[in-house]
Amino acid sequence: MLCFFPCLVAISSLLFATNFQLRTLAPGKRTTTVESSTKFIAAAPSGATVTGVCTAFHRGRTTMVWQTEIRTADDRLCAVVTQTQLVLG
């Protein structure tokens, strides 16, 4: 059985939200997703440990662009998610 692809998107969204909220967003600000693109590269086997790394490409005053890579323990790329966020407030 293979890891269901929506799980990879959920992991990516969680990494993005946690990283973004804790490290970037000023108090009183919030965001909305303008665009989200997911590229599924390979499935992770059932029970496999996956790791995600979320990187900021652009941290502007009104928009931000983040990319998350999801990989298996043996460094096999499973998915790449790119998100553009509009900063509100």
The tens digit of pLDDT for each residue in 11-22 reads 666 666 666 666
Its pTM stands at 0.75
Q: What is the mean pLDDT of residues 43-58?
A: 86
For residue 77, give Cα distances in angstroms to 21, 45, 74, 81.
25, 12, 9, 12
In CATH terms, the fold of domain 5-88 is: Thiol Ester Dehydrase; Chain A (3.10.129)
Which one, of 28, 27, 19, lies nearest residue 65 by Cα? 19
Tens digit of each residue's pLDDT (9 = 90 or more) over 24-41:
678 888 888 899 888 989
The whole-number pLDDT of residue 50 equals 86
